[in-house]
Structure 1
Amino acid sequence: MVDVILGLQWGDEGKGKIVDYFAKDYDVIARFQGGPNAGHTLYKDGKKLVLHQIPSGIFHEGKINIIGNGVVLDPITLKKECEKVAEFGIDLKKNLFISERTNIIIPTHRALDKASEQAKGKSKIGSTLKGIGPAYMDKTGRNALRVGDLLQDNFQELYEQLRQKHQVMINTYHFTEDISGDEKEFFEAVDFLKELNIVNGEYFINKLLQEGKKILAEGAQGSMLDIDFGTFPFVTSSNTISAGVCSGLGIAPQHIKEVIGITKAYCTRVGSGPFPTELENADGQKLRDVGNEYGATTGRPRRCGWIDLVALNFACMINGVTKIVMTKADVLDSFEELQVCTAYSKEGKELTEIPLRLDLDHYVPVLEKFEGWNTDITKVKDFAALPEKAKSYIAFINNYLGVNVDFISNGPERDQLIVV
């Protein structure tokens, strides 16, 4: 049995804490897509740790953590992350497994990413410059190096072939950044990676399924950044939705049971791209400051706005969401008035479906107003104790989506989660 946890917005929904909370009920936690552009924030022994590639179940003793073939893996980032995790006394050689089909990011991928983004000028998509896009391009172009290749005797030769191919492309951008230091660090990280558990991922995970193990598939980024269904072209390079679990881990669709979708109580977005409910005013700045809306990976300030139920309904539909977790509900505690987007207006006509290109026309959000609850909810332990106005806000969302909010996060700590 496989349950899925994924983001329903543009990423940054607080997946790390939620996966960490649920992990105790599962035997296996598996990342199925994305790369080091993901930043899942956890708190362990009062210390903050941001995981970029390691699954968020790593701190649970006896759990198996898998990096699936749908991920693009940066050995340098992984090595640094493993060293930080090891400081907490975690033996990664016991509970971290990496699929041999996982594609790897090499230093010229990052150089290509930077060169390409700079060349776009005002048309930048807001890449994190981690080499994710170029790595996925090599995957679909059938040029990629995979984790299993690291164990081949001719890996150095394979690496040089790919590096030279990249260099020709980099030269066309007149990009001259020296990456020799990155290469030294890369090969040190490759030696480290080879010491970890590299497995035939799809056989490994299907054997666990046959043994009756409970698996939690962990997504990165968010549904509205999906390469097919997100706000194209301002999207990531992988399938962030539940369908990506099958291709990203090598499991059949009938194994998937629950799809747990995570949404903030409002909306945020990092980088460029359409954002109908964005607030470029005092309310937007208040959401950013109270919610500490700065990227876990990049530190970039996030764009903030009211919750968008048109986009959320779309995300629930394409994912087959069965349960919703609402995070950061406490950020709304001090607002006198809240607003909820129920449709988009274009030239006087209301729409409740996501168009092909949200960025090509001016879509104005149709907003419904709610009174704020003006109460600190961070210490609330059960749903009945929430202010009535908070319950009304959630009930409206439930009714619109046809899927219920079953969990409400009211603070960053692991125990600040209300079960509805």
Structure 2
Amino acid sequence: MSGIIVVGTQWGDEGKGKATDQLGGDVAMVVKFNGGNNAGHTVVVDGESYALHLLPAGILSPNAIPVIGAGVVVDPDALFGEIEAMEARGVDCSRLVVSADAHVIAPYNRSFDKLNEVALGAGLIGTTGRGIGPTYADKMNRTGLRIQDLLDEDVVRARVIQNIQSKLRGFDPEEIPAEFKADFDIDATVAALVAYGERLRPLIVDSSLIVNRALDAGQKVLFEAGQAAMLDIDHGTYPFVTSSTAIAAGALAGVGVGPTKIDRVIGVAKAYTTRVGSGPFPTELHGEAGDHLRELGGEYGVTTGRARRVGWLDLVVLRYANRINGLTDIALTKLDVLDSFETIPVAIGYEVDGVFTPEIPVFQSEFSRAVPVYKEMAGWNEDITGVRRFEDLPQAARDYVTFIEDEVGTRISTIGVGQARDAAIVR
């Protein structure tokens, strides 16, 4: 057995897609286990950039079977749109399979997501409006629609009526914008979902069964997380989190495998920190400094195009992610983005109400007012994008990497030094 889990260690957008793609050529399956099309991965192959949302990064590895697991929420319209776009570029999507137990994002979930954000006003979470949260809520309320349910029109109709009626209960029909009203049309919604069920039929599998069989046969299986540790529903900066389990444990539940079948947990971390949406972010940079780092890193959302909030590397967050994921190693990305800095601050702890702590405060209210305590690291002020051996990095860059390892207590096995598929140092 050789199960490998790849997870994000910050607030997402760490480069998990590239890390998964780099490993994907050597695995039998790449399995997406949580989230939906609210997140995106960018992978660059032979100078071509591919933006992935619902499709696992393994879709770009011709020998790997891409699997959408039971813990994912699937918008059929978005899925088929992504498949068509990839096939138009010559990418073979015929290997893709989808769990019968994955839940479906219905049109009314997308509209309800957007309406709910408007209703929250100043207290908004900052969702992508893709219907992720409402779909997971339906799942927990046991009123959700699964992929397999789309093959039974009676089930679809009953669930659609139940969910639309419950979601509209809190809104005055006159106040719902016209653009959303079509998504609450029962007959049209049922017809659309049943049609998608027929298109999905050839892709539907028992994902737990096929993944366990591959592992039992000694094949490598890569489990790909959406989002990241600090956005995890239980362990992230609640309520400014995603609606699924985004840590390594989520791979087990989201696919249906046991912990004894996992050999390696790789945490992906940027050489600095970013987040999208609302919520605490101790090392965030504002003004000109933030704009400069954002432009250097190209920090704009793959899914939404939103400008990401940016800041220096936060080792408190990275130590926390290491603890709750049980990382075996770290893939450090975008080290090259720091090439031009004379000095690079790294947060080693926080001050909360004048008291130093090296750990994430247990109370969210304290985390929200945490002030980072920095160690200034020397910059290398040198282009490292062509470097492929650790020994060839400037001394200051090597010091930066080894300092992170020492502080976190986990080895850094790969270092990203550019966008291209091969722009990495493997140690």
| Aligned pairs for 1:29-108 within 5 A | 29-93=30-94, 95-108=95-108
Cα distance in 2 between the residues matched to 1:38 and 1:257: 26
Pairing 1:399–2:380 present = no
Match of 1:267 among 226, 250, 273: 273
Q: Is the 8 Å Cα contact of residues 56 and 68 (structure 2) preserved in structure 1?
A: yes
Cα distance change on mapping 1:177 and 1:48 into 2, 3 Å: farther
Cα distance in 1 between the residues matched to 2:203 and 2:152: 16
Q: Is the 8 Å Cα contact of residues 409 and 417 (structure 1) preserved in structure 2?
A: yes
Residue 10 of structure 1 aligns with an amino acid whose one-letter code is: W
Residue 209 of structure 1 aligns with an amino acid whose one-letter code is: L
Unaligned runs of 5+ in 1: none
Deviates more, 1:194-203 or 1:398-407: 194-203
Deviates more, 1:177-186 or 1:220-229: 177-186
Report the 3-state secondary structure (helix = DSSP H, G, I; strand = E; otherwise coil) of the residue aligned with 1:92.
Answer: coil
| Aligned pairs for 1:134-145 within 5 A | 134-145=134-145
Report the 3-state secondary structure (helix = DSSP H, G, I; strand = E; otherwise coil) of the residue aligned with 1:370.
Answer: strand
**1:17 equivalent in structure 2:** 18
Cα distance in 2 between the residues matched to 1:137 and 1:294: 28
Cα distance in 2 between the residues matched to 1:112 and 1:170: 10
Q: Is the 8 Å Cα contact of residues 116 and 173 (structure 1) preserved in structure 2?
A: no
Report the 3-state secondary structure (helix = DSSP H, G, I; strand = E; otherwise coil) of the residue aligned with 1:318.
Answer: helix
CA RMSD in angstroms, aligned pairs only:
1.9
Q: Is the 8 Å Cα contact of residues 59 and 92 (structure 2) preserved in structure 1?
A: no
Identity %: 43
| Aligned pairs for 1:5-404 within 5 A | 5-93=6-94, 95-158=95-158, 159-171=160-172, 174-179=175-180, 186-187=192-193, 190-191=196-197, 193-360=199-366, 361-404=368-411
Q: Is the 8 Å Cα contact of residues 151 and 197 (structure 2) preserved in structure 1?
A: no
| Alignment deviations for residues 170-228 of structure 1 (CA, whole Å, 9 cap, x no partner) | 44894334346666795487156424410122222222222222100000111100000
Cα distance change on mapping 1:59 and 1:189 into 2, 3 Å: farther
Runs ≥4 residues deviating over 6 A: none
Q: Is the 8 Å Cα contact of residues 21 and 43 (structure 2) preserved in structure 1?
A: yes
Report the CA distance between 1:87 and its aligned residue.
Answer: 1.8
| Alignment deviations for residues 6-43 of structure 1 (CA, whole Å, 9 cap, x no partner) | 10000000111111111011111000001111101122
Cα distance in 1 between the residues matched to 2:182 and 2:43: 30
Report the CA distance between 1:342 and its aligned residue.
Answer: 0.4
Q: Is the 8 Å Cα contact of residues 106 and 193 (structure 2) preserved in structure 1?
A: no
Report the 3-state secondary structure (helix = DSSP H, G, I; strand = E; otherwise coil) of the residue aligned with 1:340.
Answer: strand
TM-score, with length taken from structure 1: 0.95
Cα distance in 1 between the residues matched to 2:316 and 2:48: 37
Report the CA distance between 1:45 and its aligned residue.
Answer: 4.3
Cα distance in 2 between the residues matched to 1:285 and 1:173: 42
Q: Is the 8 Å Cα contact of residues 150 and 193 (structure 2) preserved in structure 1?
A: no
Report the CA distance between 1:396 and its aligned residue.
Answer: 0.8
Cα distance in 2 between the residues matched to 1:410 and 1:125: 33
TM-score, with length taken from structure 2: 0.94
Q: Is the 8 Å Cα contact of residues 232 and 357 (structure 1) preserved in structure 2?
A: no
Unaligned runs of 5+ in 2: none
Cα distance in 2 between the residues matched to 1:375 and 1:396: 19
Cα distance in 2 between the residues matched to 1:297 and 1:107: 18
Report the 3-state secondary structure (helix = DSSP H, G, I; strand = E; otherwise coil) of the residue aligned with 1:58.
Answer: helix
Report the 3-state secondary structure (helix = DSSP H, G, I; strand = E; otherwise coil) of the residue aligned with 1:20.
Answer: helix
Cα distance change on mapping 1:194 and 1:298 into 2, 3 Å: same
Report the CA distance between 1:89 and its aligned residue.
Answer: 3.1
Report the CA distance between 1:123 and its aligned residue.
Answer: 1.0
The count of corresponding residues between Structure 1 and Structure 2 is 419
Report the CA distance between 1:92 and its aligned residue.
Answer: 2.5
Q: Is the 8 Å Cα contact of residues 79 and 192 (structure 1) preserved in structure 2?
A: no
Cα distance change on mapping 1:170 and 1:67 into 2, 3 Å: farther
Q: Is the 8 Å Cα contact of residues 149 and 156 (structure 2) preserved in structure 1?
A: no
Report the CA distance between 1:352 and its aligned residue.
Answer: 1.4
Report the CA distance between 1:155 and its aligned residue.
Answer: 4.3
Cα distance change on mapping 1:26 and 1:164 into 2, 3 Å: same
Cα distance in 1 between the residues matched to 2:156 and 2:135: 18
